[in-house]
Structure 1
Amino acid sequence: MNHPDIVIVGGGMAGASLGAELAAHAHVVVLEMEDRAGYHATGRSVAFWEETYGGPVVQPLTTASGPMLSAPDPEFHDGSFLSPRGTLHIGRPGDEPRRDAFLDAFAGRVDLQPVDPVALVPGLRPGWTLGVMEASCQDIDVAALHQSYLRKLERLGGEVRLATRLEAARREEGGWRIETRDGAIHCGLLVNAAGAWADDVARACGVAPVGITPLRRTVVQIDVPDLPSPDLPLIMDMQARFYFKPEGRNRIWLTPHDEEPSPPCDAAPEELAVAEAVARFEEAVDWGIGRIVHRWAGLRSFAPDRAPVYGFDPTAPGFFWFAGQGGFGIQTAPAAALLAAAIITGAASPSAIASVDSRAYCPDRFR
């Protein structure tokens, strides 16, 4: 059908989650330019649910998403998407102001406990004397979550069109005319959930961009024969120079926490970033490393103020932004999708997101 009610551009976690929430209310078509949904940022995430990640403006979305990730609708997924992990934030002398600001920012919001990191991480190198434990952090099964949303979308009558790129779009009476290589699609509402391509999609629709910038993040997977335990927490540097976590018995995922501006593309890791990741890991622990098993990069896309962009564009009727979700789009997906669906349908916000104030994410702040 080329006359759906809603067209969502982008089939990653953002588009799939929002499509799944809207499909009960309208006929939804998701346009995905790649041959499979979730090829870019969603498929390259080392995801965890961490309430402090993304800062205080993102925390309400993350906290509200936790119960939904832990106990999803059994019709679409059996069991939790989460598994225990915990985060240990570590620092060295001189990092006290960062530690204290971190504790102050989340006081009364997130349970954070100052700890001695040496007692928790065998092989931690001398000098790492500051620690804050965020015990609530959990790993996320990203692939299962994404597939669950796609399954829900399709069962409720929605459709995902793969290898279908929005070439251009224009306003016409009653909605939008979207041009694709397979022909035109007419819809009442156009949702921009295109991740790194969000500003490009806006331009193709004649809508002013909001300044969403893709930033490359490098990840390596390394054999660590002497890994003390696969159950160690995610270890995150207070200076945001690295984080790493076990992946099985003798392997870790590691990133140098890089944020290199990039055009929207099929991101690839650069050798310098890989070398920096390994060097920073060796600064932190004396475990030793084996071979690099895998290396990859993904694009994390941020608005200028690093808060997500959810809402109708005030200058373009029927154009809805659902973008700028940085590195926190997966951990906030359930709450963000409920929030955006409520805005679109005009319904009251569900009780699950009662603590979330949508005004912090409105695109009006850029107009």
Structure 2
Amino acid sequence: MMYDVAIVGAGMAGASLAAAIGPSARVVLLEAESAPGYHATGRSAAFWSETYGGPGIQPLTTASGPLLEAYLTPLGSLHIGRAEDAAKAEAVLRAFADTGVALERVDPAAFVPGLRDAWTIGVLEPSCAYIDVGALHAAEIARARHAGVEIRTDAALRVASRAGDVWTIETAAGTVRSRILVDAAGAWADIVAARAGVRPLGLQAYRRTMVQLRTDPGAPADLPHVVDLSGGFYFKPEPGGRLWLTPHDETETDPCDAAPEDIDVAIAIDRLEGVVDWRVDAVERRWAGLRTFAADRLPVYGFDAATPGFFWYAGQGGFGIQTAPAGALIAAALLLGTAADPAVAGIDFARYSPNRF
């Protein structure tokens, strides 16, 4: 069978794109693992925050909000700092002053019981919400299947070559022929490109550590997502008074099945203990995921300038879940040559083009 589009990677990026273009094209979704979403998608502590990622990510996040509504639970985000972080708080307020993102100065102690005295700076982002990543990813996979997308697992791409206007893609699950090859392989995107004879973009994967803690007192159910203005941590409540915490680490790594390091878990707990007077009773879970960035930390959507029929859909960093609906609509318009969906019509697609490098 000849496909119009072969998408490599069935995480949130590939799944949402397959669902978006499935009704209009013959699509095959190729996943290297035995099940979709094993790596970054399946390990995300995702939340929808319009400030997360900065002004370059915000238009994608804002446009995605209404499309994610069924998977969002109100949370709120509190950006906190000490006296020396006052300028950073002002910088956040200035950066989003003309974007429509609601931000307000607050006393952080009113939101975080047991907050240590040094943490006096607070900026509240009321719109922040928790994303049910599992439900969202499952829904996109189901929507893709319903649209007729074929999903092949255990189908790692080994090599791909193009003759005329057709790609021949050799995978662990057999050979696929397609007119367009989409690289949505996350941390492996540059590797996939190289195997297709395409010049890599210099995408870099970073390890991010997460822990689930039991504390005394337990995390209040109405605790907002709390993030350090200096980038040293964030934490958020989980059911049963648990807390999800990260030291906000970014450790360069090759693409891999990421695992947490003991030192990063210890750093996370030490930083938490410098913020609140809660006692950490137990580390109940620990895990790590990969975040993959282009040099300018913006995602890459578009056809490769030097290789016809090769489409980049990569570099979503740690923001791929919250921007997935907008990213899929942008990529669908570029792939199919159609008018932009109204939800993303006001976004400058060129800002995310691979041709910017």
**TM-score (structure 2 length as normaliser):** 0.98
Aligned equivalents of 1:329, 1:40: Cα separation in 2: 13
* Cα deviation, residue 171, structure 1: 1.1
Q: Which residue of 77, 83, 89 maps to 2:79?
A: 89
Q: Does 2:230 align with 1:261?
A: no
Match runs of 1:1-367 below 5 Å: 1=1, 3-70=2-69, 80-109=70-99, 110-227=101-218, 229-366=220-357
Aligned length: 356
Structure 1 residue runs of 4 or more that deviate by more than 4 Å after TM superposition: none
Q: 2:219, 2:242 within 8 Å by CA — same for their partners in 1?
A: no
C-alpha RMSD of the superposition:
0.8
* Cα deviation, residue 319, structure 1: 0.3
Q: Any idea what SS the aligned residue of 2:311 has?
A: strand
Aligned equivalents of 1:350, 1:29: Cα separation in 2: 23
* Cα deviation, residue 183, structure 1: 2.7
Deviations 1:226-284 (A, max 9, x none): 12511110000000000000101320000000000000000000000000000001110
Deviations 1:20-56 (A, max 9, x none): 0010111110110000100000000000000001110
Aligned equivalents of 1:272, 1:99: Cα separation in 2: 29
Q: Any idea what SS the aligned residue of 2:343 has?
A: helix
Aligned equivalents of 1:234, 1:314: Cα separation in 2: 40
**TM-score (structure 1 length as normaliser):** 0.96
Q: Which runs of 5+ in 2 are unaligned?
A: none
Q: Any idea what SS the aligned residue of 2:281 has?
A: coil
Aligned equivalents of 2:95, 2:164: Cα separation in 1: 47
* Cα deviation, residue 218, structure 1: 0.1
Q: Which runs of 5+ in 1 are unaligned?
A: 71-79
Q: 1:61, 1:332 within 8 Å by CA — same for their partners in 2?
A: yes
Q: 1:225, 1:250 within 8 Å by CA — same for their partners in 2?
A: no
Deviations 1:197-243 (A, max 9, x none): 00000000000011110000000000123125111100000000000
Larger fraction in strand: 2
Q: Any idea what SS the aligned residue of 2:119 has?
A: coil
Q: 2:13, 2:324 within 8 Å by CA — same for their partners in 1?
A: yes
Provide the residue aligned with 1:77 in structure 2. none
Percent of paired sites with the same residue: 55
